[in-house]
Structure formats: structure tokens, C-alpha cells
Amino acid sequence: MPIKQIKEENPFESMMQRFDEAAQLLDLDPNIYKILRWPNREITLYIPVMMDDGNYQVFTGYRVQHNFARGPAKGGIRYSPDVTLDEVRALASWMTWKCAVVNIPFGGGKGGVICNPHEMSPGELERLTRRYTSDLMDFIGPERDVPAPDMNTNEQTMAWIMDTYSMHMRHTVTAVVTGKPIEIGGSRGRREATGRGLLFVCNEAVKKFNMEVAQTRVVIQGAGNVGGTAATLMHHEGYKVTGLADISGCVHNPNGLDVPGLIAYLKEHKTVEGYREADHVGREEFLELDCEILMPAATENQITTENADRLKCKILAEGANGPTTADADAIVADKNIFVIPDILANAGGVTVSYFEWVQDRMGFFWNENEVNSRLHEIMVNSFNDVVRVAEKYNVNTRLAAYMLAIDRVAYDTKIRGIYA
């Protein structure tokens, strides 16, 4: 593989390219620039876990705390064989910018463990999670760093983290993680929050371009908590969801998919293979389908210099973190595609995580309408803030989102001062 491609697909490089460009346009104070370029802290852990056969395996795990200027670090933990420190670094800094774009009082962090959760038993996953948590005892907490779910982690994982942390503290500390089951301090609406946030920003974009919801074709890559929920909510809103993909394959129906039927099929068969109500298309072809909204909601590096020129959407709504490489940005911009960048588009999840943290600390829980209407307000305001910055500086919306975020974090860093 040519070096350029390796570099293009390094998410930390992708983040840095945009950061540098935004910092330059903002004429960022060079001292603040130096500070914001680096994560605050990177923790590497070697986690011994007794496997079901009685032998031990040692897993490598990370927690990167990128920035604390605006509050505790905040961000998910992912379990995947592909986790790298550079990826976690990028994801941690994206959390800093994401929290600043939606103006919630958190910095950014991210965790990752190199493992294959699909090949591990629930017992092995529980032991891994608990040991990872106890090794991080001095670094996490409601005022320090608040983890949440990400790829291949879920409400159960968060319950184990909360319990382990609480055992060490000798009392129940619900606010140490978000994305918990509702019964033990989770928030109503958290599970659907990322998908719902995507719906809200897509609605704003559709309004901005005077498009009709019913005539808007949506192609969604990813059928998990983000893509699957977004597909369901967009379908109920009246959008024509014409494409949906998961790891097992990609389906397309130009007349609109029966989303509830397809999701039920996926739940039952764990694959789209054999689904008869739609055409099956290849992975590359899928992203190049003719549509109004393309929503990559799976993983990084899906839109690159290789395929960006072949996109046929009008709006790119980034449900995943880092689905577009920095090198592909210019191609997407040349095609006049309106980008709802990841740090805005998928911020619904962390926004309701913030609500969960607030509710846990108050010990007073809101109903789902309250959660959803506060989420709506934040997503719409943030969308408008980004569009305003884009217009003011005559830049694309991705750069505008970075500029909005960096400006906020820089201001807070400056006013706090650098402790020496």
C-alpha cells in the first residue's frame, strides 16, 4: 500500500489536518495552539484476564484524556481487534471538539481495548471490563473522566464499570459512566440519542435547502445502535430510506425500504443475506448510490480520495466518527456536497450522556419528552451555530465546526491560564 494511503487513513492525521487548518483560519494564539495539539494524558494498560479455559490472556487497553479545559473528559470505550493508540487519540480529540460544538461542559476522552468481543464469552468480557476499570480507578470518576459506550460496548458494559468503580469507592456512584441501563441510573432516550440527533440535524439541512422529507432518499451505512436507530427514526419521519448496510451486506430499494421489516429480519437472522424485499449491492457501489442524504454510520475511513469523487448525495450526514478522510474533504467540497460533520452530526449521543450525568448527580430523572426536547434544542442551535460560522468565514461546514469548537476550548484554556 502506498505510504500516502496509510497516512490518509490514520485518523489522528485526519484530525490534525483539520485542526491545523481551523487553527490557522482562527489565527489561534501560537501558545494555545501548542497546548491544544496534544492530548493531556495517554494511559496504556496491559490487562490480565482469566479466560474460560483457566488460562490467562493479557489484553492491551488505552484511555486517552485529550482535554479538561471545559470539564471532565468524556467519551466512549470501544472493544475491537483493530484498536490502535492513534485511533483512540483521534477519537479522544474528536470528543473534545464534539462536546465544544454542542457547548456541553466536558472535555474529551476515549478508551479502547484490543480484543475480539465476538469471540469472547460474557464472563470473559465482564472480567476484562472490571479489570480495565479497576486499573483506571485513579483516572476516571464523575469529576475526572466519564466513559460511555462505543463500538462493541453497551449498557451491560457500562453497568459492570459502574459496579466496579462503586465497589472501590464503597458507595454507588452512578455518574461515573453514561449509557447505563435506565434501572441503574441511565437516562431515558440515551440509547436512541445518536440516531435521534442525526434525524434532527438532517431535518435542519432539508429545511435549509427547501427539500421535501417525503422525496428525500436516505442511504445509511451501519445498522447498529447509530445507523439502525437513525434508519428507524428517519423512516417514521417520512424519509425514503433506500439503502441500509451492515457488516453482512448492503441492501437497496429505490422505492424505499420497509425499515421495520428489515430491522426485524436483521434481529432474527443476524445478517441481511437472504433478505428478498431489496436488491443486494456491493460495498463500494453502496456508498455511490444516488440519494439525497448519505449517512455513513459505521466506522472510520469510508470516504477517501479513492471514492469521494463518485459520491452522488447532496448531503453527507456523518453518523460515525471520522468516516471521511481529511484528504477527501476537498473532493467532497468541490462536488458541492453539504457536509454535516461527525462532531456535529453524531453529537446527540454525548449530549444525552450529559443529561444522564446531570440526572445522576441530581438524583432526579426526566421523562423521555423532556430529554428529547432538550436534545432537539441543542442539536438545532448547534447546527445553526456551525452554519453561521461557515457563512461568516466563508468556509465549509466541517472547518466551521472545528473553528467553533477550537475557539471555545481556546478561550476557556486562556481564561483559566496555564498552571505552572
Q: Which residues bind ligand GLU (CB under 6 A)?
A: 74-76, 148, 150, 178, 321, 346, 349-350, 353
Q: How far is the CB of 256 from ligand GLU (least distance, A)?
A: 29
Can you read off the three cell numbers belonging to residue 215? Answer: 422525496
C-beta closer to ligand GLU: residue 157 or 346: 346
Please, is 343 exposed, middle or buried when counting C-beta atoms within 10 Å of its C-beta (0-12, 13-18, 19+)?
Answer: buried
Annotate 332-342 with b (16+ C-beta within 10 A) or e (fewer): bbeeebbbbbb
CB of residue 321 to ligand GLU, shortest distance in Å:
5
From the CB of 348, what's the least distance to ligand GLU, in Å?
9
Q: Which residues pair with 280 in a beta bridge?
A: 251
**Identity of the residue numbered 279:** D
Q: Which of 74, 110, 240, 314 is catalytic?
A: 110
Helix (H, G, I), strand (E, B) or coil at 293: strand
Helix axes 227-237, 259-269, angle to 10 degrees: 150
The residue among 144 and 280 lying less far from ligand GLU, judged by its C-beta, is 144
Q: Does residue 336 contact residue 312 with C-beta atoms inside 8 Å?
A: no
Tell me how many helices (H) and strands (E) the chain has. Answer: 15, 12
Q: Locate cell 447509530: which residue?
A: 226
Active site residue 110: yes
From the CB of 89, what's the least distance to ligand GLU, in Å?
Answer: 14
**Within 10 Å of residue 72's Cβ, how many Cβ atoms?**
20
Residue linked to cell 480507578: 137
User: What cell numbers appear for 342 in the block?
Assistant: 461527525
- The nearer residue to ligand GLU, 101 or 202, going by C-beta atoms, is 101
Nearest approach in angstroms of CB 68 to ligand GLU is 15
Q: Which three cell numbers stand for residue 369?
A: 419528552
Q: Answer left, alpha or beta for residue 363, where phi above 0 means left and psi between -120 and 50 means alpha.
A: left
Which H or E run contains 280? strand 279-281
Residue 41 has what DSSP assignment? E
What's the half-sphere exposure (Cβ side, CA atoms, 13 Å) at 384? 6
Comparison of 75 and 185: residue with beta carbon closer to ligand GLU: 75
Give whichever of 263 and 350 is closer to ligand GLU, judged by the CB atom.
Answer: 350
Distance of alpha carbon 227 from alpha carbon 194, whole angstroms: 9
- Provide the 3-class DSSP secondary structure of residue 279: strand
Q: How near is the Cβ of 254 to ligand GLU at its closest, in Å?
A: 32
Rank residues 110 and 314 by Cβ distance to ligand GLU and give the closer one.
110
Largest CA distance in the chain: 65
Tell me which amino acid residue 192 is.
Answer: E
Nearer to ligand GLU, 49 or 350 (CB): 350
Q: What length does the chain have?
A: 420
Give min distance, CB of 94 to ligand GLU, in A. Answer: 7
Cα angle for residues 391, 392, 398 (degrees, 5° grid): 55
Q: How far is the CB of 22 from ligand GLU (least distance, A)?
A: 19
By beta-carbon proximity to ligand GLU, the closer residue of 292 and 356 is: 356
Phi then psi for 104, rounded to 5 degrees?
A: -105, 155
CB 390 within 8 A of CB 400: yes
Output the residue with the shortest Cβ distance to ligand GLU.
76
Instruction: Give catalytic residue positions.
Output: 110
